[in-house]
Amino acid sequence: MLGPLMKELAARGHQVDVINHFPQKSPIPNYRDIVVPNVELFTTVNNVTYGDVQSFSTISLEYFAQETGLNTCKSLEHPAMKEVLSKKKGAYDVIVVE
């Protein structure tokens, strides 16, 4: 959902680093995808529609949220994420989390 905002910031000259499971197909000036592959998360996110989520029972929705959360946390162990998280204070002007 924040993709258009990040691309517009890059177009206006800001250096934008995006931690992403879904990198851009073509390079964008001032825009760097930091790819953190996570097959489980990729499969889950790409195969569930809004309609699916609406039809989930409470237990199914809790399971979906738990699995997505756990797989997102596993992504924090990836070397690319560790590099970003270990940057010195002040390396970024703003960090946006979706």
Task: Report pLDDT digits (tens) over 52-93.
Answer: 878 888 888 888 888 878 877 888 888 888 888 888 777 777
Look up the pTM and report it: 0.63
For residue 22, the model assigns a pLDDT of 77
pLDDT per position as a tens digit, 3-15 = 899 999 999 999 9
- 25 is written with which tokens? 């197909």
Backbone dihedral angles phi then psi of residue 35, each to the nearest 5 degrees = -85, 125
For residue 66, the model assigns a pLDDT of 87
The answer to whether 2 and 96 are in contact (CB under 8 A) is yes
Query: What CA–CA distances, in Å, run from 74 to 48, 78, 87?
Result: 20, 8, 19
